[in-house]
């Protein structure tokens, strides 16, 4: 688990440089939803979204398949640049036009779930107003 987390640190550091990507955070409602249904259920939803909406060689509606809100995983996908095939290609060098292999899908799911976990551990800090003095 900690080795896995270290692998994602470089990716999270890259994302942290993007104003657009860092805008996305789980809301209180999102966090309550995760707490209510449980992380394993969220992971299953995440795997379904990745398989059905991203993994096909030519996903339906590509570029618009991930809503901005409505599920914690959608926010994770925007925050992690895993929202569509062009973002996956640009950020993570996932080739377009061919199906994403199962192992790579699992990697994407692990990454998205790591972001969701971070939102839980960081949310107190995230709520501090940016103008606050230290």
Which residue has the CB atom at the shortest distance from Zn ion? 87
Q: Which is nearer to Zn ion, 34 or 84 (CB)?
A: 84
Q: How far apart are CA 15 and CA 5, in angstroms?
A: 15
Place of tokens 């059905």: 52
Quote the least distance from Cβ 53 to Zn ion, whole Å: 11
Quote the least distance from Cβ 64 to Zn ion, whole Å: 9
Q: Which is nearer to Zn ion, 26 or 54 (CB)?
A: 54
Determine if residue 97 is left, alpha or beta; phi over 0 gives left, psi from -120 to 50 gives alpha, anything else beta.
left
List interacting residues with Zn ion (CB under 5 A).
83-84, 87
Q: Are 123 and 88 in contact (CB under 8 A)?
A: no
Q: How far apart are CA 40 and CA 66, in angstroms?
A: 21
Dump strand ranges (E) for the chain: none
Q: Which is nearer to Zn ion, 83 or 94 (CB)?
A: 83
Quote the least distance from Cβ 66 to Zn ion, whole Å: 7
Quote the least distance from Cβ 10 to Zn ion, whole Å: 20
Q: How far apart are CA 123 and CA 26, in angstroms?
A: 8
């Amino acid at each position: 688990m900690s080795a896995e987390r270290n692998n994602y640190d470089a990716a999270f550091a890259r994302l942290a440089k993007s104003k657009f990507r860092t805008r996305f955070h789980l809301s209180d409602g999102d966090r309550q939803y995760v707490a209510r249904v449980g992380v394993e259920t969220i992971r299953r939803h995440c795997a379904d979204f990745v398989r059905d909406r991203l993994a096909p060689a030519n996903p339906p509606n590509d570029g618009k398949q991930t809503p901005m809100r409505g599920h914690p995983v959608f926010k994770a996908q925007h925050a992690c640049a895993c929202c569509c095939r062009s973002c996956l290609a640009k950020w993570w060098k996932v080739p377009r036009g061919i199906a994403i292999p199962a192992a790579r899908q699992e990697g994407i799911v692990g990454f998205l779930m790591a972001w969701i976990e971070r939102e839980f551990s960081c949310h107190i800090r995230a709520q501090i107003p940016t103008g606050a003095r230290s």
